[in-house]
Amino acid sequence: MRNKKLQANAEKQKRYRERQKALGKKMVRGYITPEAMANYEEIVEKTNWTDSDILSNAIRITYAAYKNGQIRLLNKWLLEDDKKKALAKAKQQAKTDDKDDSLRQ
């Protein structure tokens, strides 16, 4: 019984992948950094896009930046944003440490 159930599920997955391929879609996935995961969660929250929509739009936006000679600008913005977030995190940590020190005294 269990083997039939697993086989039926595998067949469903195979049919799904074939339908997606027939629509011209291709599966692309990879591991992402914790920073990218935070960005992903913010995008989902604000746009209600699916994982597939987010990936497709990210690739399209990156390609548009590349074609318009804006990759350097895009990378610069990302680096500055990372620095701002790190600074904000450090400030928050310093506040927490200060509160802990005042409580200990």
pLDDT, tens only, 37-50: 888 899 999 999 99
Neighbour-count burial of 64, counting CB atoms closer than 10 A to its CB (0-12 exposed, 13-18 middle, 19+ buried)? exposed
* 63: in domain: yes
Predicted pLDDT of residue 105: 63
* 39: in domain: yes
* 16: in domain: no
Predicted pLDDT of residue 87: 92
Q: What pTM was estimated for this model as a whole?
A: 0.61
Q: Round to whole Å and give the CA distance between 29 and 74.
A: 22
* 59: in domain: yes
* 83: in domain: yes
**Cβ contact 4:12 at 8 Å:** no
Q: Round to whole Å and give the CA distance between 86 and 64.
A: 28
Q: Round to whole Å and give the CA distance between 70 and 8.
A: 48
Written as one letter, the residue type at 52 is S
For residue 64, give its domain range.
29-104
Mind listing the pLDDT tens digit for each residue in 11-44?
A: 999 999 899 888 888 777 778 888 888 888 999 9
